[in-house]
Amino acid sequence: AIARFRVHPFPALVIGALILGLWSGAPADLVLKSFRVGFGETLANVGVLLALGAMFGALLASSGGAEQVSSALLRVGGIRMVPWTMCAVSMILGLPLFFEAGVVLMMPIILSVGTRLAQDPRGLKGNAYILAGLPVFAGISVLHALVPPHPGPMVAIDALKADLGTTLVLGLMISLPIAVVAGPLYTLWIAPRSSAKPPVDLVGQLTQTDARYRPPGLGVTVFTIVCPILLMLGKAAADLVLPAGGLARRSFDFIGNPMIALLLAVVLSVLTFGF
């Protein structure tokens, strides 16, 4: 429905879910109840993250922080190395972050780098936003699928009674070549053959800075971005070394929850990025 008939994803998914439920033979009232419960849980888990991430992204962009990070990335590797530097940054950030949280935190940087590349396309081969964005999605997707403490690998470890440390090492070893092929290499091939044009209002929202104020320094900006990542990483480390049920373990589990970590990051960004 989405690809062939250009139906909007939301009604297409709703209709697909309802048809699947009825086709399975479940009573209509149970299908509707399952849909409401599933929709509510998904909204609670992902919707809150997206809302907090949108706040964080707006503060990061309007303060000029995203511009600082994008400038630093372009200085480090230059225009030709953008797919490689973006993939590397996304893999570093994606180690403790769930996929959706990584996307939310990286989106202002993706759009800022993409916009700058589009404005100055010298030496650029392909669509600017694909060159800036696709390696990011590849990097965090690979880590989310293969490396603990992400949920998929943790479920597999528990089911197979595998060793966590060995799985972590092997996951990282496998992730690097996959991310290189699916990220920078594929991006450099597909970018000249495809196009991407993000909504103008979204680009404006996440890249437009307020010229009345001095942007935060690069160090402060990076610290603020990394703060929720450190909280989530702390939770992952606590789950490995601290006994279950203890006060320290419960504290880390609370503040390292993606929703709480992003909430604290939003509060911190109000102070570091400016009121």
Own/partner contacts of 92-95, CB < 8 Å, gap of 24 or more, are 93/140, 93/225, 93/226, 93/229, 94/139, 94/140, 94/143, 94/144, 95/143, 95/147, 95/229, 95/233
Determine the pLDDT at residue 123: 65
Single-letter amino acid, residue 84: W
Q: Which of 73-77, 118-122, 140-144, 253-257 has the lowest mean pLDDT?
A: 118-122
Mean pLDDT confidence for 130-151: 88
| Residue 253 DSSP SS3 | helix
Read off the pLDDT of residues 61-84 as tens digits, 9 standing for 90 and up: 778 887 787 778 778 777 788 899
What whole-number percentage of the chain has pLDDT above 90?
Answer: 27
Which band of pLDDT confidence, cut at 50, 70 and 90, is reported for residue 209? low
Question: In the predicted model, is pLDDT for residue 179 greater than 90?
Answer: yes
Mean pLDDT confidence for 168-192: 92
Residues sharing a CB contact under 8 Å with residue 186, sequence separation 6 or more, in sequence order? 134, 138
Question: In the predicted model, is pLDDT for residue 3 greater than 80?
Answer: yes
- The answer to whether 213 and 275 are in contact (CB under 8 A) is no
Distance CA 143, CA 126 (A): 26
Question: In the predicted model, is pLDDT for residue 24 greater than 90?
Answer: yes
Question: In the predicted model, is pLDDT for residue 8 greater than 90?
Answer: yes
Distance CA 188, CA 24 (A): 44
Determine the pLDDT at residue 149: 66
Read off the pLDDT of residues 211-258 as tens digits, 9 standing for 90 and up: 666 788 888 888 888 888 788 778 878 887 888 888 888 998 899 887
Determine the pLDDT at residue 13: 92
Average model confidence (pLDDT) for the chain?
84
Model pTM score: 0.66
